[in-house]
Chains A and B, each alone.
Chain A
Amino acid sequence: MRRRRPIPHLGGARALVLHRLHADASALLRQLGAIGLNADSAWPDLPADAALADFVFLDADRAADAQLPWPPGEAPMPVVALIGAEAPGRVEWALNQRADAHLVKPIGNAGVYSALLIARQRWEERQALHREIAGLKAQLAERRTVVRAMLALSDEGMSEAEAYSELRRQAMDARVTVEDAAARLLEARADKGGARERTRRS
């Protein structure tokens, strides 16, 4: 079961609104202030410290990639798209920014709070997925190391079962993972090989 989330702490969080001066921007700034965030709008350029903001709101109607200091879709914080024109190209732009939530113009008092919470949760989930995928990729890469180590041991005449037992034994002796033991074994072989090369050359 998913743990219930505590009272969301948004007080003092910083929000940037990439939108020209307009009633939609002022309504949004008003509501963000009422919720307790420090919010500023900017157009056309974001301030130099934009990457430190806790939330960013992007005007999907007019904003362009060049206005953002990060590559499309890689904002280092939750992104909320402000959508007026529902032209497919503009919606696509918001999707390419990986907007975590959106608000439909005209912006009123309703919807801002839920957009903040939804965007933050989606963003956190996405970050957690990225971390998990990176971990799995690393593990996958190490699997190749294990296979190479076992092949090296089979070259020395061990059966598959013996090679794996040997790796496990080395891992347990050194108190490391099988993957680490495999890497050490390959390193040691490479060193020995290098030493033989040097001996032969001298």
Chain B
Amino acid sequence: MRKRVEIGLLFSRSGDYALLSGASYAGALAGIQAVNADPARGIEFAAVERDPAGHTERYGPLCGQILRESAARHVIGCTTSWSRKEAIPVLERHGGMLWYAAPYEGFEASERVVYLHACPNQHVLPLLSYVAPRWGADAVLLGSNYVWGWEVNRVARDLVTDAGGRVLAERYLALGDTDVSRLIEEIRATRPSFILNNLIGASSYAFLKAYAALGRADAGFLPVECPVLSCDLMEPELAALDGAGEGHLVVGPFFANGAGGPGSSMEAAAHASVLLLADLIEAAGTDDPDAIAPLLGSRAFATPLGEIRIDGQTHHSSLPALVGRIEGDKFREVWRSEGALAPDPYLSRYDPRAAWSRPALRVVS
């Protein structure tokens, strides 16, 4: 008989970023279904679900509930960095392990977390490396007013400077704020080479719609002239944009192919988390996180993200970086890294001279 293993799912089913957390939730469920449907597996998973409904302060207590009130030692969950930082002390207290499958700003390496999505050397660095030589390196940096936007823009500021460009403006909106008129005016006045958009949810959708309107009024702001770059936009969000994202650029470890399979990289990464966890529980013969952690770096794992490896030292994943252009309801790949990029969460191996060996060329039209 197969051994039944409880695992926690900690995703918001409503709230500001429900489209993203919903994608992760769907991926985790699909992963559980795949494990349970696989006759070759020695275990089956039972989900213990908690829904923080988009409230950051609920993640810690609900994570604690899962670890105290069920047999689950592993939690697949969290979307924003704030929610992850709420969960980490609880995981430390109860000896749990979080499988975190969202792109994030880096500069963290907790032993109680496995990081399954991109960190800065796998998202903002390849994206800017693709864009700067083609459009130029003068940037306007936008973000929602919390740690993701602050830190990714902080990294971007250095990358832009190293690429020979200037940061023409750096602006933040409160989470959920949709008043983007000042941002648009500033972009119109400063005429950057590109805009790095780290706004999330409703703010991001409002900005992209207003920017599309600006492009209709002034062809200098069409995507071919001045693209908007996003490190965390996912396919399920495109419907909320009413076509305003068309032609703009994204980066991720995986794009949906539209023919079944995961609908976004976050869905694929959450799915991958469950498969990795199943593989490791079988290999360790227990779901004890302290027995599983030493095995993280021991092998490659076949996942919907492709074959991936985990770096045992940082608990981060080697992932490919794909740059895509938004076309309809899909991301069309325009560039792909040579193989998977080893994770560098602290950008300790970032070398400005190697990253920007060719001077940035401005496209003359």
Contact = CB atoms under 8 A, between A and B. Distances in A.
Physical interaction between A and B: yes
Interface string B312-340: 01110000000000000000000000000
A11 to B, nearest CB: 3
Contacts of B157: 4
B313 to A, nearest CB: 5
A188 B315 CA distance: 72
Sort chain B's interface into a size bin. Answer: 20 to 34
A12 interface: yes
Interface stretch (A30-38, A86-94, A175-183): A30-38
B44 interface: no
A11 B349 contact: yes
B92 interface: yes
B5 interface: no
A113 B106 CA distance: 12
Q: Is the interface of B mostly helix, strand, loop or mixed?
A: loop
Contacts of A108: 92
B313 A33 contact: yes
Nearest to A108: B92
B346 A113 contact: yes
Given A6-B158, A7-B155, A36 B348 contact: yes
Interface residues on A, range: 10 to 19
A109 B110 contact: yes
A36 B346 contact: yes
Contacts of B315: 34
Nearest to B111: A109
B109 A109 contact: yes
Nearest to B347: A7
B350 interface: yes
Interface in A1-33: 4, 6-7, 9-12, 30-31, 33
B344 interface: yes
Contacts of B107: 113
Interface in B149-165: 154-155, 157-158, 161
Contacts of B347: 7, 11
B348 A10 contact: yes
A30 B11 CA distance: 30
A4 B156 CA distance: 13
Contacts of B350: 7, 9, 11
Interface hub of B154, B155, B315, B348 (most chain A Cβ within 10 A):
B348
A10 B346 contact: yes
Contacts of B154: 7
A60 to B, nearest CB: 23
A89 B155 CA distance: 42
Nearest to A37: B348
A30 B346 contact: no
A30 B112 CA distance: 13
Nearest to A31: B109
A46 B112 CA distance: 31
Contacts of A113: 107, 346
A141 B111 CA distance: 56
A36 B155 contact: no
Given A109-B109, A109-B111, A35 B158 contact: no
A74 B109 CA distance: 32
A31 B107 CA distance: 11
Interface string B274-308: 00000000000000000000000000000000000
Interface in B330-365: 344-350
Interface string A35-75: 11100000000000000000000000000000000000000
18 contacts: A4-B157, A6-B161, A7-B154, A7-B155, A7-B350, A9-B350, A11-B347, A11-B348, A11-B349, A30-B111, A34-B345, A35-B348, A36-B344, A36-B348, A36-B349, A108-B92, A113-B107, A113-B346
Interface of A: 4, 6-7, 9-12, 30-31, 33-37, 108-110, 113
Given A10-B348, A34-B346, A36-B349, 16 more contacts: A7-B154, A7-B155, A7-B347, A7-B350, A9-B348, A9-B350, A11-B346, A11-B349, A11-B350, A31-B109, A34-B109, A34-B345, A35-B109, A35-B346, A36-B348, A110-B88
- Of all A-B residue pairs in the complex, the 10 with the closest CB atoms, nearest first, are A36-B348, A11-B348, A34-B109, A34-B314, A109-B110, A35-B346, A6-B158, A7-B158, A11-B349, A34-B313
